[in-house]
Copies of this chain bind each other. A is one copy, B any other.
Amino acid sequence: MPKFGVILSGCGVYDGSEIHEAVFTLLSLDQLGAAYQCMAPDASLDTIDHLAGKPAGDKRNVLVESARIARGNVVDLATVKAADFDGFILPGGYGAAKNLCTFATHGPDCTINPQVARVLKEAHALGKPIGLICIAPALGAKLLADKQVKVTIGHDAGTAEAIKKTGATHQACGVNDIVVDEKNRVVSTPAYMEAKSIKEAYAGISKLVGRVVEMAGK
């Protein structure tokens, strides 16, 4: 049974992993007969009150909050070796752009969490497929800009422009579809960058997971 790492960034669209996207990633993997391990960096995040849509004024821990989506079964990314997995998938949510890297605040000049960068660089070097959902492709673009990686975040012009400024290639894409960079073995889908409903997010993510699992078998 192939096994995939799912890299989370907290629990909630505004300060962590987008919950629907993360859950659909896990469901799709399980439905395809693939195992998964949730993982996240041991780092702090600025809590957003999701009802008020404003900063709550306190901090939470990315790994501890990610455990909510994982039903407790999440490991510290610092303990992860890419060689132990068949591929990796990153759901979106602001956490992917604030906690895993600083794209939300620094755009193309962002930095990437060292453990996230290490695991994904190792995975890429080993030819393991990487799936990037929603805003997570911006992180992948920064990480693999020197490989001319091709990704999508949908149609948002400003975000696409920032991705191009990293040196990566952006390709527009509909919500139900995926963009595949065969050479770099990177698959991306817009999900809630475009989705108007939860079923639209599910459609693109299940397609992405299918392609990542298929790639891992080749």
The answer to whether A19 touches B51, judged by C-beta atoms less than 8 angstroms apart, is: no
Task: Compute how far the CA of A24 lies from the CA of B202 in the bound complex, rounded to whole angstroms.
Answer: 10
Mask: chain A, 55-86; 1 = CB below 8 Å from B; 0 = not: 00000000111011111101000000000000
Asked if A123 CB lies within 8 Å of chain B CBs, one says no
Shortest Cβ gap from A35 to chain B (Å): 10
The answer to whether A49 touches B26, judged by C-beta atoms less than 8 angstroms apart, is: no
Number of interface residues of A (CB under 8 A): 33
Asked if A147 CB lies within 8 Å of chain B CBs, one says no
The answer to whether A199 touches B27, judged by C-beta atoms less than 8 angstroms apart, is: yes
User: Which residues of B have CB within 8 Å of A71?
Assistant: 13, 18-20, 50
Shortest Cβ gap from A209 to chain B (Å): 12
Q: Which residue of B lies closest to A12 (CB)?
A: B68
User: Which single member of B16, B52, B74, B198 contacts A26 (CB below 8 Å)?
Assistant: B198
Task: Compute how far the CA of A46 lies from the CA of B18 in the bound complex, rounded to whole angstroms.
Answer: 23
A: residues with CB less than 8 A from B are: 11-14, 16, 18-20, 23-24, 26-27, 30-31, 49-53, 63-65, 67-72, 74, 197-199, 202
